[in-house]
C-alpha cells in the first residue's frame, strides 16, 4: 500500500506539469491503477457487444461482500451518457445503485451493487418457483414505481424487458431493481426524442420505436404491457412469432393491437384491462406510470383467495432455454469460422461431405447443423435426431458439444 501511495503521489505531481492531452492520458492510467488496487475480479457475469459485467470484491478484505463491475467502451458517447443518467437516478428505490466510477484508459468501469437474485426470467423459469397472479402484481407494481421516478426526472429507459429486471435476493420477491441503461435517454423540453435506428429488444419495444418515430415516456409503458402480459400468461409473448426468431415483421405491420388472449386461468378483468390500456398503438392513449399504479389491479395490496392459484410457467422455461440454445449455436458458428481461418489447407465443403459418409462424428460439423436444424420449437425432436459425441466447451450460459 505504501508503494501505491508513492506512485500516486508521483503521478499527481506529474499531472500538474503535463499538457492537456498528456494529463487526460495520465489521469486514465491513474484511474486504472486505483481500480485495480481497490477491486479484484471473481468471475464474469455477462458479456455483450458493447459491455462486459464482472463480479468483483474489495481487494485484501476478508469479508465476502460482492459488487458488479460493468466495463464500457471509454471512447463512446453512449457510455458517458449511461454514467450520467445512472448518477441522476440514484435516489430511486427501484433503480440499480451506482457505487463508484472509474474513467480508465480503455474502459469506463461502473461499480454497482451486486444483485444475487438473478433476473425476472430466471426466477420465473425455475420449476420450483410458484408463480401466482398476486406475485405478478408485486412485480409490475415495483417496475411501475421505478419508471414513475425515472420519468419524473425526464429519463426514458427504452429497453424494459425481463432480463434487465433484477432481484437483490433469490428468496425475496421484493427488492426489484431496473438495470442496464445503455439505451436510456434524457428528454429535452419537447419531452421526446427521435432515433434513426431501432433501439432495445424488438420483442419488447413499442411501434413508434419500430417506425423510428419520436418517443417519450409512453414508450416504456408499452414494454411494461408486454412484460405484464408475459407474467400473467406464464411466459407467452404477445408478439413473438413461432415461425420467426424476430417479431419485427409482426410489429411493423401492426395497426391495431389485437385483444390480449391471457391464460384461461387468469381471466381477471382487471389484469386484462391494465394490459389493454398499455398495449395501445397510439402512444398518447397509453397509461402513464402514475395512472397504471392507480389502476384497480395495482392500487390495492389486498390478496384474494381466488387469485392464489399457480400459473403455468412452461412457456417461460422454453423462452429461457431457447435463448441459451441460440447462444450455444452462435458459439459453434464462431468456432467453425475461426477454424476455417486458422486452417488454410482445410478441405472444401464437397470433400467434407464425402468424408462425412465414412466418419459419423464429422457429419455433425456446424455447416450441416446450420442447414438442417430449424428453430428449436421442441427439444424432444432434437434429442431424438442427434446424439452427443463429446464436449467442446462450456461457459456461464451454456455448453457446446460435437453431435452426430
Fold match between domain 2-113 and domain 120-312: no
- Position 328 scores a pLDDT of 62
- Class of residue 76 by CB neighbours under 10 A (exposed 0-12, middle 13-18, buried 19+): middle
Phi and psi at 57, nearest 5°, equal: -140, 165
The pLDDT tens digits of the residues spanning 275-306 come to 999 999 899 999 999 999 999 998 755 444 33
- Class of residue 378 by CB neighbours under 10 A (exposed 0-12, middle 13-18, buried 19+): exposed
Residue 326 makes CB contacts below 8 A (sequence gap 6+) with 245
The pLDDT tens digits of the residues spanning 356-392 come to 444 444 444 444 444 444 444 555 677 677 777 666 6
For residue 120, the tally of other CB atoms under 10 A from its CB is 22
Domain ranges of the chain: 2-113, 120-312, 323-403
Residue 244 makes CB contacts below 8 A (sequence gap 6+) with 250
| pTM exceeds 0.75 | no
The residues annotated with a catalytic role in the active site are 159
**Hey, which CATH number is domain 120-312, 3.40.30.10, 1.10.8.80, 1.10.510.10, 1.10.260.40?**
1.10.510.10
- Position 380 scores a pLDDT of 60
Task: Give the CATH architecture of domain 2-113.
Answer: 2-Layer Sandwich (3.30)
Which range among 230-239, 248-257, 281-290 has the greatest average pLDDT?
Answer: 281-290
Amino acid at each position: 500500500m505504501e508503494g501505491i501511495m508513492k506512485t500516486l503521489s508521483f503521478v499527481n505531481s506529474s499531472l500538474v506539469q503535463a499538457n492537456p492531452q498528456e494529463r487526460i492520458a495520465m489521469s486514465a492510467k491513474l484511474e486504472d491503477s486505483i481500480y485495480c488496487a481497490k477491486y479484484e475480479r471473481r468471475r464474469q457475469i455477462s458479456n455483450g457487444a458493447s459491455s462486459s459485467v464482472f463480479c468483483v470484491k474489495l481487494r485484501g478484505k476478508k469479508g465476502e461482500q460482492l459488487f458488479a463491475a460493468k466495463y464500457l467502451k471509454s471512447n463512446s458517447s453512449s457510455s458517458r451518457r449511461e454514467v450520467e443518467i445512472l448518477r441522476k437516478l440514484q435516489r430511486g428505490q427501484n433503480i440499480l445503485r451506482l457505487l463508484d466510477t472509474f474513467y480508465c484508459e480503455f474502459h469506463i468501469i461502473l461499480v454497482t451493487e451486486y444483485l444475487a437474485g438473478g433476473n425476472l426470467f430466471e426466477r420465473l423459469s425455475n420449476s420450483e418457483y410458484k408463480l401466482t397472479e398476486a406475485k405478478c402484481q408485486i412485480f409490475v407494481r415495483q417496475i411501475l414505481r421505478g419508471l414513475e421516478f425515472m420519468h419524473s426526472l425526464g429519463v426514458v429507459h427504452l429497453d424494459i424487458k425481463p432480463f434487465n429486471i433484477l432481484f437483490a435476493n433469490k428468496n425475496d420477491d421484493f427488492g426489484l431493481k431496473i438495470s442496464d441503461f445503455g439505451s436510456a435517454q434524457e428528454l429535452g423540453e419537447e419531452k421526446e426524442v427521435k432515433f434513426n435506428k431501432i433501439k432495445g429488444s424488438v420483442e419488447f419495444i413499442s411501434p413508434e420505436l419500430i417506425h423510428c418515430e419520436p418517443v417519450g415516456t409512453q414508450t416504456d409503458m408499452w414494454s411494461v404491457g408486454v412484460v405484464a402480459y408475459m407474467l400473467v400468461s406464464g411466459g407467452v409473448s404477445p408478439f413473438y412469432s413461432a415461425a420467426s426468431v424476430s417479431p419485427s415483421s409482426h410489429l411493423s405491420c401492426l395497426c391495431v393491437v389485437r385483444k390480449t388472449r391471457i391464460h384461461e386461468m387468469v381471466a381477471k378483468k382487471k389484469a386484462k384491462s391494465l394490459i389493454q390500456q398499455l398495449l395501445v398503438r397510439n402512444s398518447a392513449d397509453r397509461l402513464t406510470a402514475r395512472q397504471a399504479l392507480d389502476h384497480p389491479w395495482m392500487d390495492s395490496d389486498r390478496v384474494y383467495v381466488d387469485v392464489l392459484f399457480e400459473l403455468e410457467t412452461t412457456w417461460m422455461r422454453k423462452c429461457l432455454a431457447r435463448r441459451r440454445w441460440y447462444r450455444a449455436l452462435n458459439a459453434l458458428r464462431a468456432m467453425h469460422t475461426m477454424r476455417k481461418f486458422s486452417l488454410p489447407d482445410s478441405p472444401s465443403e464437397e470433400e467434407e461431405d464425402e468424408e462425412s459418409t465414412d466418419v459419423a462424428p464429422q457429419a455433425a460439423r456446424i455447416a450441416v447443423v446450420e442447414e438442417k436444424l430449424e428453430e428449436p420449437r421442441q427439444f424432444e425432436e432434437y434429442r431424438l435426431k442427434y446424439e452427443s459425441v463429446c464436449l467442446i466447451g462450456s461457459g456461464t450460459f451454456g455448453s457446446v458439444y460435437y453431435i452426430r
